[in-house]
Chain A
Amino acid sequence: MAQFVCPVPLPAKDKILLGHGSGGSLGAELLRRVFLPAFDNAILAKLNDQAILDVQGVRLAFTTDSFVVKPLFFPGGDIGSLAVHGTVNDLAVGGATPLCLSAAFIIEEGLPIETLEKVVASLHRAAADAGIEVVTGDTKVVEKGSGDGLFINTSGIGLVPADLNLSADRAQPGDRLLLSGSIGEHGIAIIAQREGLEFESQVRSDSAPLHGLVAAMLAATPGRDSIRCMRDPTRGGLSSALNEIAAQSQVGMLLEEEKVPVREAVKGACELLGFDPFYVANEGKLVAIVEARAAEQILAAMRAHPLGRQAQVIGTVTAAPAGMVSLRTALGTMRIVDMLSGDQLPRIC
């Protein structure tokens, strides 16, 4: 019988990999290794989806996001509408009412102007629907081959009520986890479009602005403290968002698999590709950690809103193990819902 031996360990990673951008633990490591040490301040250290600044007695929320989606157009949206929704949602989950946006365009030489016009029209419509305007912007053009047609960065400012504090370090044991609707639609819509995969039922991106839903939830809360924090689970999916909160708050979480809504079409696509819906991006959903006694009320308010009809209580915050998200499967057994390290790779056979 031949010798049994093992492979050589890899040298230390010294290059940026695609996985560093997928919202998983590689990206988190990059934050810790490069960005946080450089931009060393208390606001950034909170690692929320937005920064809350106290400016002469007024609380402003400030956030930025870049959009590099490929393809530019997909069922349910395009890079323009996405650029608005993504930034509005980062403001919204901080409890902010969005005020205005900036929009910076990095355009690849050769992009048809007609394409740019379509994207800009869509961006404008999305902003108008969200009740805001693009008040400042920038345009750069890069040589052919240096970009994927079009990249957009949007930054947003919003107003936060004086007594509202939604931060990822506020979750407490006993709190309930509320999810506003079914997961995995945006990511699957993108990959289906990109790879030319056709499913019997088309999956559309759920891209949507959530500040109205958030406002309804805040209005329904008995006390300002009842909603601890909120996140919109974009890249890295529901799992990454929950793991981040669990880490920031140093709590555990227990999810109920049966309670997490996943559409049939998304389930089917995930089965085919070997993806786990928990890791697939969403662009029109939020997860909220709320005080247990307020959960029913807030859930009712969510379900009364068009973007929250399928809202569910999907789990509970536990004291331990700190930083770990666990799941009770449909069979009643337990497993971990881990942070992805990099990109989710489709399975082979």
Chain B
Amino acid sequence: MARRRGAGTHPAVWLPAVVVALLMIVPVLHLALAAAELGPVTALTEVASDRTLRLIGRTLLLAAAVTAASMVLAVPIAWLTIRTDLPARRAFAVATALPLAVPTYVGSYALIAAIAPGGLVADLTGLPGVRPYGFWGAFAALTVFASPYVLVTVQAALAGLDPALEDASRTLGRGRWRTFLTVTLPALRPATAAGALLVALYVISDFGAVSMLRYSTLTRAIHTEYRASFDRSRIALLGLVLVAMTVVLLVAEARAARGGAGTYAVGVRRRAEPVPLGRWRWPAVALCGAVVVVGVVVPMVVVASWSWAALEAGEPIAAAFDAARRSLVAAALGTVATVLAALPIAVWSGRSRSRAARLVERASFTGFALPGIVVAIALVFVGIRLVPALYQTLAMLVVAYVVLFLPQAVGAVRSTLLQVDDDVESAARLLGASRLATLWRVTLPLAAQGTFAGGALVFLTVLKELPATLLLAPTGYDTLATRVWSATSEAFFARAALPALLVILLGVVPLMLVSARRGALAPAVQPRSDVEKDSTVPSTLTATG
């Protein structure tokens, strides 16, 4: 059965998927080649050394803690911002995802400037500051700035989730709370797992937060090696440890997602009736508001206060706007290319149970799990040798973005597809549509919401990207992120402020597009009652307002 389904995939899907997957494993191959110089004995001794084991332990601890906290925080917020009568619901849906637009090096810097002894809070209130360093600081910062991965994927899933099952549960006498726990949450499992995976991988590859907040992970150790030793085989070895860790996380995610997949929805969705929050209204607002304050307002206030000082000091703003334009071009091209590369992989793995499809989908995660500098150096090595004409051009940079950020798009598209049973496509085939026509007219439209959500994630991360942009962009192609970096590294903070503010503000755009599309989508797919497959629900309960 599984085999037949796999064989039924059109080459227009699996062929590009395989090509993209080959591109994705380039960094791992480069690492493996470099690490091979060490020889097996040295390599094993090095991996099993106390220091490496300690780094692995610390990295896993941070990833596990941040991922768990992100789920606890983001799943309820996703539900509140999609399914309830939360005041300013649409604005919160965008604003609670916005911390993702804050680069961790800026966000962590703002956190220190705000709460450390002698910081803003201490100045304003006279309270003693808190030293936000070590595990707890890194944990808090990464939870705030990475949890939107769970939020955005779960929001997309909720928007596409057929409320019929929940309505049925309510009709059969279960309360709102039990319905949420026993029907909604399990239905959200694939999306939650996909978001959680992105959080975990983001944490293990992040450098900004762990370096500013002083918590040693494998990625921080890799950066230290780059700075100090130029010993590429040692770096490669630590990189391969990260790859191994990624494989473990990928298997864990696949297990976690399996339980919930394909158990609901028939392809025709109604808009869910907003759940009245009643007296929980204001606590809910407080929760969402707290996330927005800590994750968006505080970084923006800190950065805006620099901007103000910079403008007063006569810092020219034209350069920042030029950089914003280049950032926007790079992010737009990177997003389109990444989404296009992601679609075949997502469709194949979302619709086929073949092993090959699974493998290709999992392979797409490697670039995201590695520190940006490792991927960038690998692409430098390969790019200058294989395609010298493209080396340090915009095309090369876009390829780097695809390698780095592909899984964000794959995950979002795939989890939307998994929400819809493939009976829909079977029906299309039965009614005489060709495989390609079914793909074009049924599968891809079903994936649209996920495509937008995934594209928004890619856009945000491209805006923040640093190492690949520095090494692979055309010479002189300075973006907002590179301007922030170059100004802060030489302690010209006034010069860093405006670009940092623009990075965050530009992130609003894709999130608003996603939100607007979600709003437009829901009423458009209102079913006629005769299409409903299983109308056990009285029409009074399903009517939309």
Please determine whether chains A and B interact with each other in the same assembly.
no
Binding site for A on B (CB under 8 A): none
Binding site for B on A (CB under 8 A): none
